[in-house]
Amino acid sequence: MVQPQLSEIRPTIGKVCAALSVIVALVLGSRMVLADSGDLANRDPFGVATGAPASVAYRRWMPLMREAGVKWARLGVSWRGIEPKRGVWNFQKLDSMIRVGAANGMYLDGLFLYNAPWINSNTHTFPMHHLRAWSKYVSKLVAHTRGKVDYYEVWNEPESFAAGGTAAEYGRLVRASYDVAKQANPHVRIGLSVHCVDVVYLQEAIQAGAVNHFDFICVHPYEVLGMVQHGWEGDYMSIVPTIRKMLAVYDPAKVNVPIWITEEGEQIGSYGATVTSQTRDIVKGYVMGIAEGFARIEWYQAMDGASAGMGLLTRNGYRRPAYRALQTTTRYIGAIPNYQGWVLLNHRDYGFIFKGAQGNVLFTWARPGNIDWIRFSGSVRIVDPATGMTRNLAAGTPLCLTNAPMLVVGVSARLAAEARYDKTQPFPWGGNYSHAASVSIRMGDPNHDRGLHQLNPNRSSTAANVYGTTARLCNDGSGHVMQCFEVDPNFISFRPRHVNITITARRNKRNTPAGFVVGYESTTGLKHNGAGGWWTIPGNNRWYTHTFKLSDAEFVGMWAYNFDINSDRPNKGGYYIKKIVVTK
């Protein structure tokens, strides 16, 4: 795991601008955003995002988000809504959203979003042949919202919503947007957008033209957050450090720009997410996101839209337990969180300490499937984020920990000092592998991980005992044709490297050919068959070992894994895997 960049990013422009912003807010009775103004609320990390269907209900959800302690909202008004016909400008909806946001004490950030229908019927296409019209739209929008909306993200997930547009095209679009936006408002801040945590796409866009033409970076780590419920907290804590490693190489002047999450969330009923997991993970997402250095975190979404189950609120305004959990979190952390550091309780349970208005506040939980007990040297107060209920706990009384986060208010200064020390150390992920010669996994039930983890092992394979040897059965004919693995980012992340993946396997059917390929994250993105081609397991009577040699590995964990073992289709024959070792 790379060392977290845990220092808070505090953009500034000058004391005069800061003073003016405060005076304007006091005179008008509502807070207006001057980017990097120094206003304390500009450092408030709590935000929400909405899709187009839910954005129309902003009058309903904005007051409730204010009650939850949320200060930021991501707007989704597209070019087609601003300029529905060439030369016809319509800011009515946007102006209304700004007014309602100001009335509720909310700051707004926006997007330069998609194509105009009068240019191309497919609005999810980069307007590369119409940059003059695009630039006019950007200029008009930025000038119109100057002093009200001064953070803009260029496009939304360009890999997914650009109809095959390339990273190079996106880089040129960002450069054009940045130049014209700064002319319209020198204080505006322009952000790069990316799907999930696609660091390679960011790198390619920067190299193609976006270099030194952005002020912040936006990621959407849905998949990485989803793995937190399986115990992959270390992977989530590596997002900001990995991006900063990339910036240090490809755009050093921007290495310390703010990094935002402008979308993350869980849809109840999808990919195993439940009301319970959503409630747990919203607390973990905000707490760990703030801890690793995200300047802003915007949960998707405030209210259910086209996809029911993602909102903090249902379509009829019912407050889900995740809403209560967020409200409890903001109440105890405060608007400007003062993060102290992390600790391992009992040498295994994660804890994150903040200094709040009521003293030191610890957020802690046990690993998935485990129950643990901890004791405190002094009396503390226990808060359940899901309900907001509180109870006192006397000194020395055991507290039962599960995977559901708990707040402990009033922990000792000694524990806070330990957290401040750990803050500067590599974040652990079942051990510290920053100087290890290799990482490995011994397959079984459960797997024995040493810096190498299998994604959802029971969904992609079956535990087995083969002649007294623990293993996992893969590609067993039931559709389980791919197994995914993540390397501890402390061991290796981002920098292109030569990597060897050594796999010990055997067939599970006599006289049946079996084998697989290895796909991996490379300097040019995910390679599905780029590690020496297909390996056929030679025989039936013993374990065989084969090494796949990667010459261009660039592990960034975009999809919450770094490499996969893939048999293409079930009829390629089943096989057992006993052990995998990764060396660099």
DSSP string, 495-546: S-EEEEEEEEEEESSTT---EEEEEEEEBTEEESS-SSS-EE---SSS-EEE
Mean pLDDT of the chain: 87
Of residues 460, 547, 452, the one with CA closest to residue 504? 547
Q: Which residues are 113's β-sheet partners?
A: none
Going along 305-414, which residue ranges are E strands? 339-345, 349-356, 359-365, 372-374, 380-383, 390-393, 399-401, 406-409
Distance separating alpha carbons of residues 332 and 411, to the nearest angstrom: 13
Q: How confident is the model at residue 85 (pLDDT cuts 50, 70, 90)?
A: very high
DSSP code at position 9: P
The 10s digit of each residue's pLDDT in 394-426 is: 999 999 999 999 999 999 999 999 999 999 988
Of residues 46, 439, 456, the one with CA closest to residue 232? 456
DSSP alpha helix (H) spans, 185-299: 199-205, 222-226, 233-236, 239-250, 275-292
Of residues 176, 21, 64, 57, the one with CA closest to residue 112? 176
pLDDT of residue 31: 30
Say which range, 12-26, 273-287, 340-354, 467-481, has the weakest mean pLDDT: 12-26
Q: Is the peptide bond before 321 cis (omega within 30 degrees of 0)?
A: no
Of residues 136, 243, 149, the one with CA closest to residue 190? 149
- Is residue 387 scored above 60 in pLDDT? yes
Q: How confident is the model at residue 363 (pLDDT cuts 50, 70, 90)?
A: very high
Decide which of 3.90.70.10, 3.20.20.80, 3.40.640.10, 3.40.50.150 is the CATH code for 15-336. 3.20.20.80
Tell me how far apart the terminal alpha carbons of the chain are, to the nearest angstrom. Answer: 15
Q: Which of 261-270, 501-510, 515-524 has the highest mean pLDDT?
A: 261-270
pLDDT of residue 495: 76
DSSP for 122-184 reads -SSS--TT-HHHHHHHHHHHHHHTTTT--EEEESS-TTTSSTT--HHHHHHHHHHHHHHHHHH
Distance separating alpha carbons of residues 397 and 494, to the nearest angstrom: 44
DSSP code at position 400: E
Task: Give percent above pLDDT 90 in the chain.
Answer: 67
Q: Which of 16-25, 30-39, 324-333, 516-525 has the highest mean pLDDT?
A: 324-333
The 10s digit of each residue's pLDDT in 526-548 is: 887 767 788 999 887 899 999 99
Q: What tokens does 125 get?
A: 């296409």
Distance separating alpha carbons of residues 290 and 298, to the nearest angstrom: 12
The 10s digit of each residue's pLDDT in 149-197 is: 999 999 999 988 887 789 999 999 999 999 999 999 999 999 999 999 9
Identify the CATH class of 438-583.
mainly beta
How many residues are given for the chain?
584
Helices and strands, counts by H and E, the chain: 15, 29
The pTM of the full predicted model, rounded to 2 decimals, is 0.88
pLDDT of residue 570: 64
pLDDT of residue 475: 79
15-336 against 340-422: fold identical: no
Centroid of chain to Cα 233: 11
pLDDT of residue 429: 77
CB 145 within 8 A of CB 180: no
CB 220 within 8 A of CB 194: yes
pLDDT of residue 571: 65
CB atoms within 10 A of CB 99: 12
Place of tokens 């025989």: 539
Q: Say whether domain 340-422 belongs to CATH 3.30.70.
A: no
Of residues 577, 524, 513, 579, the one with CA closest to residue 550? 524
- Is residue 33 scored above 60 in pLDDT? no
pLDDT of residue 308: 85
The enclosing H or E element of 367 equals none
Query: In terms of DSSP bridges, do strands 482-487 and 497-507 run parallel, antiparallel, or are they unpaired?
Result: unpaired
CB 101 within 8 A of CB 62: yes
Q: How confident is the model at residue 576 (pLDDT cuts 50, 70, 90)?
A: very high
Query: In terms of DSSP bridges, do strands 469-474 and 461-466 run parallel, antiparallel, or are they unpaired?
Result: antiparallel
pLDDT of residue 124: 87
Q: Which residues are 154's β-sheet partners?
A: 112, 192
Distance separating alpha carbons of residues 560 and 441, to the nearest angstrom: 17
DSSP code at position 579: E
pLDDT of residue 220: 97
Centroid of chain to Cα 184: 31
Domain map (residue ranges) of the chain? 15-336, 340-422, 438-583
Q: How confident is the model at residue 6 (pLDDT cuts 50, 70, 90)?
A: very low
CB 132 within 8 A of CB 119: no
- Is residue 322 scored above 70 in pLDDT? yes
Q: How confident is the model at residue 26 (pLDDT cuts 50, 70, 90)?
A: very low
Please indicate whether residue 570 or residue 160 has the higher confidence score (pLDDT).
160
pLDDT of residue 497: 80
Phi and psi at 77, nearest 5°, equal -80, 120
- Is residue 5 scored above 80 in pLDDT? no
pLDDT of residue 89: 95
Place of tokens 């005069």: 16
pLDDT of residue 479: 61
Distance separating alpha carbons of residues 266 and 269, to the nearest angstrom: 9
Mean pLDDT value of segment 99-107: 94
Helix, strand, coil percent values for the chain (each to nearest 5): 30, 25, 45
Distance separating alpha carbons of residues 108 and 149, to the nearest angstrom: 6
- Is residue 41 scored above 70 in pLDDT? no
pLDDT of residue 174: 97
pLDDT of residue 569: 66
Instruction: Please report how many Cα atoms fall inside a 13 Å half-sphere around the Cα of residue 442, on the Cβ side.
Output: 5
Alpha-carbon distances of 201 from 7, 65, 565, rounded to whole Å: 26, 33, 23
Distance separating alpha carbons of residues 558 and 535, to the nearest angstrom: 26
The 10s digit of each residue's pLDDT in 218-255 is: 999 999 999 898 888 989 999 999 999 999 999 999 99
pLDDT of residue 504: 97
The 10s digit of each residue's pLDDT in 456-496 is: 888 889 999 998 999 999 876 666 678 999 999 888 877 77
pLDDT of residue 7: 28
Q: What tokens does 74 get?
A: 């991501």
